[in-house]
């Protein structure tokens, strides 16, 4: 099996290509993946060959898993999405069907919502939506249950015992021994723990309504790891979603009746439409504004203020270029920019703060992620208004974000202080806001 590597910055993501069908199918197994070792298992080989019979199958190991690098940061959701894009670029795939299995589902949802023009169809198998139970989310585990689950999962990793939970129908002593070796090839125990911590705080509920691609949801009815109710919720929330409930209690996708599963995928993709021409896209919007600009301008005079403002603009634009932000609008002393990931927007805002502090200026910034209308290079819609209102609520020197942004950067290492509920002018409902610590 030929292994290639896509490069995302300094991180190398392992991938391989099978088949030469008319449809590109970009695929990840989530955590349980190693592009070298898993080909020893005839179950995986049969399943992969079945998918490659009708597609150009592009399989990759997620960041921190199998043959792929971990990178300098924890493998949080935005980085995983970037890796998927890097794999598509490296494999020469402009538009593809994207299939995310289990923990690969969240990343695939974020990619589909962010890059609708590159996703002709989305397929999710046993995708996790939100790990932790909440008043408005009864489907998750309590924090204590989740911690116990991940600790047990990590402690048993590399021993094969997790097979009894992940695929009880396939447990034998002989297969458990191979499974133990497979687990050890995926990640170290500390690596598994880090992956668990990233997924512990995941919440992608806000993404589901923004997914435009036709979506196939697959889930085995008695999955003990991810309850089927999560796929039912996605089926009710993603606009063009179809749910197929399959019999069985195996969570591992390539263990069980894989022919039935592959047949569903083939039927779905064979009749899939080309991606629609769209003017809607999921984006992270950043607004910045100089605090006390009127008073400062009056004190300096027009010429000195204009020169200072030019230096401010140059500093902001340097950071936007560094963090892949797209300048959408500049009005007076404020900037509006869009990003394809919320963590990048936050870090850009922090860098802008530091840059203009040397000019003796202070800044407020607001960040929100939501579905926007794209008109040429401009963005509009309620998400833009929310980001602007969040920015206007921020204090001097503060980067303020919405709950959606906080949820999407779980595992990134970015910490927040809860600023409580706020009424945002012209925006329905109350919004919980968080300051970047």
CB 51 within 8 A of CB 57: yes
User: Which range in 12-21, 148-157, 319-328 is most confidently predicted, on average pLDDT?
Assistant: 12-21
Q: For the chain, how many structural domains are there in total? A: 2
| Residue-number span of the structural domain to which 24 is assigned | 4-270
pLDDT bracket for residue 337 (50, 70, 90): very high
- Which of 224, 243, 270 corresponds to the end of one domain? 270
pLDDT per residue as tens digits for the range 200-230: 788 999 999 999 999 999 999 999 889 999 9
**Tens digit of each residue's pLDDT (9 = 90 or more) over 59-109:** 999 999 999 999 998 899 999 999 999 999 999 999 999 999 999 999 999
Domain harbouring 82, CATH code: 3.40.50.1820
Report the 3 state secondary structure along 102-150.
Answer: CCHHHHHHHHHHHCHHHEEEEEEECCCCECECECCECCCECHHHHHHHH
Axis-axis angle for helices 143-156, 189-200 (nearest 10) = 160
**Is 87 within the bounds of a domain?**
yes
DSSP 8-state code for residue 203:
B
Residues 318 and 234: their CA atoms lie apart, in Å, by 39
| DSSP secondary structure code for residue 428 in this structure | S
Asked if 201 and 411 touch (Cβ cutoff 8 Å), the reply is: yes
Give the single-character DSSP code of 240: T
Domain boundary among the residues 202, 235, 270 is at 270
The span from the CA of 427 to the CA of 157, in Å, is 47
Do 337 and 394 share a structural domain? yes
CA distance 121 to 267: 12
- Tell me, yes or no, whether 167 and 257 share the same domain: yes
Instruction: Give the span between the Cα atoms of 57 and 266, in whole angstroms.
Output: 12
pTM: 0.85
The enclosing domain of 375 has a CATH number of 3.30.70.1230
Residue 170 domain-assigned (yes or no): yes
- Whether 257 and 189 share a structural domain: yes
Cβ 369 vs Cβ 113: under 8 Å: no
Residues 333 and 417 in one domain: yes
Say if 275 falls within a structural domain.
no
Q: Which of 214, 239, 270 is the last residue of a domain?
A: 270
User: What sections of 286-437 are H helices per DSSP?
Assistant: 293-300, 302-322, 342-357, 382-393, 403-408
State whether 153 and 198 are in the same domain. yes
256 and 290 in one domain? no
Question: Is residue 307 domain-shared with residue 234, that is, in the same domain?
Answer: no
Mean pLDDT to the nearest integer, 257-284? 81
Average pLDDT, the chain: 90
């Amino acid at each position: 099996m030929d292994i290639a590597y896509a490069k995302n910055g300094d991180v190398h993501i392992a991938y391989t290509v099978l088949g030469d069908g008319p449809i590109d199918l970009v695929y990840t197994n989530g955590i349980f993946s190693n592009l070298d070792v898993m080909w020893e298992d005839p179950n995986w080989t049969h399943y992969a060959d079945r998918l490659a019979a009708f597609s150009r199958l592009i399989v990759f190991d997620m960041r921190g898993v199998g043959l792929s690098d971990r990178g300098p940061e924890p493998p949080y959701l935005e980085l995983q999405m970037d890796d998927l894009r890097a794999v598509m670029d490296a494999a020469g795939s402009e538009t593809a069907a994207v299939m995310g299995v289990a923990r690969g589902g969240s990343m695939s949802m974020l990619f589909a919502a962010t890059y609708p023009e590159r996703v002709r169809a989305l397929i999710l198998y046993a995708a996790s939506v939100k790990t932790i139970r909440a008043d408005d989310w009864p489907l998750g585990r309590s924090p204590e249950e989740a911690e116990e689950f991940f600790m047990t999962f990590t402690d048993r990793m590399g021993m094969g015992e997790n097979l009894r939970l992940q695929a009880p129908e396939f447990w034998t002593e002989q297969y458990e021994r191979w499974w133990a070796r497979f687990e050890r090839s995926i990640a170290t125990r500390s690596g598994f723990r880090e992956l668990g911590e990233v997924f512990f705080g995941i919440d992608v509920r806000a993404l589901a309504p923004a997914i435009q691609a036709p979506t196939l949801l697959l889930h085995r009815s008695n999955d003990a790891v991810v309850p089927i109710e999560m796929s039912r919720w996605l089926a009710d929330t993603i606009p063009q979603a179809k749910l197929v409930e399959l019999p069985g209690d195996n969570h591992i996708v390539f263990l069980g009746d894989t022919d039935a599963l592959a047949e569903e995928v083939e039927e779905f993709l064979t009749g899939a439409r080309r991606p629609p021409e769209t003017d809607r896209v999921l984006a992270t919007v950043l607004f910045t504004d100089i605090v006390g600009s009127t008073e400062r301008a009056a004190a300096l005079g027009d010429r000195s203020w204009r020169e200072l403002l030019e230096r401010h603009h140059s500093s902001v634009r340097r950071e936007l270029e560094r963090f892949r932000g797209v300048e959408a609008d500049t009005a007076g002393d404020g900037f509006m920019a869009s990003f394809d990931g919320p963590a990048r927007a936050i870090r850009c805002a922090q860098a802008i703060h530091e840059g203009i502090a040397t000019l003796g200026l202070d800044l407020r910034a607001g960040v929100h992620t939501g579905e926007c209308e794209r008109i040429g290079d401009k963005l509009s819609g309620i998400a833009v208004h929310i980001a602007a209102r969040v920015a206007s609520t921020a204090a001097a020197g503060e980067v303020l974000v919405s709950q959606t942004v906080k949820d999407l950067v779980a595992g990134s290492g970015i910490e927040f202080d809860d600023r409580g509920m706020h009424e945002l002018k012209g925006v329905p409902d109350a919004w919980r806001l968080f300051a970047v610590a």
